[in-house]
Structure 1
């Protein structure tokens, strides 16, 4: 086969695969797309809230806690070496950690869920 025929054949196969695995979504009734999106959001918002509260926030908290204690240890070693303790980085990490630990209590009211 020539080079052009191979490219055309690959393109045709890719298009057929796209058409085979794609679906058309229609809004129910009079074509109210905004209503369909709103209903989908209302159905999924509870699940999204649960996943964010039980998976995302704890993962972020864990990462920030590890970084906070590592930076605190490194700051202590720098203090022993130079005699001056650098508070900025541990303070910022601690503030972020407190923010993400308390975020599930108020973030959903801010967003409006």
Structure 2
């Protein structure tokens, strides 16, 4: 028996079996009691105006500001690359401009989608 326990594979198998046995004994299934979706909907309805105000007045302007800074920095870097190499790279400024337009207009339609 002792020689059998010296084998690493046997010890690993015994450890795995012990962990599985403990898991079967200790773990119990949990179930939600009641109407969970109704509670979530009621919580959303009670906090909806506050969430909308914070998102419209804080979150979107911060995202817009960050994107605007990145856009102008990238546009300046693209211009300096154009002066050095003679070729203007439009991809990154165009993507940032599209994202900026999307986030500037998002408060008008995002709440209709949600």
TM-score with structure 2 setting the length: 0.67
Look up the match of 2:43.
Answer: 40
Look up the match of 2:4.
Answer: none
Structure 1 residue 82 displacement after superposition: 0.3
Name stretches of at least 5 consecutive residues in structure 1 with no aligned partner. 1-26
Look up the match of 2:84.
Answer: 81
Structure 1 residue 32 displacement after superposition: 4.0
Q: In structure 1, the residue corresponding to 2:72 is in which secondary structure?
A: helix
Look up the match of 1:95.
Answer: 98
Q: CA RMSD in A?
A: 1.4
Structure 1 residue 41 displacement after superposition: 1.2
How far apart, CA to CA, are the structure 2 residues paired with 1:95 and 1:88? 11
Moved over 6 A (4+): none
1:29-51 deviation digits (Å, cap 9, x = unpaired): xx444333321110011111110
Look up the match of 1:106.
Answer: 109
Name stretches of at least 5 consecutive residues in structure 2 with no aligned partner. 1-32
TM-score with structure 1 setting the length: 0.68
How far apart, CA to CA, are the structure 1 residues paired with 2:89 and 2:38? 54
Work out which of the residue numbers 52, 55, 58 in structure 1 matches 2:58.
55
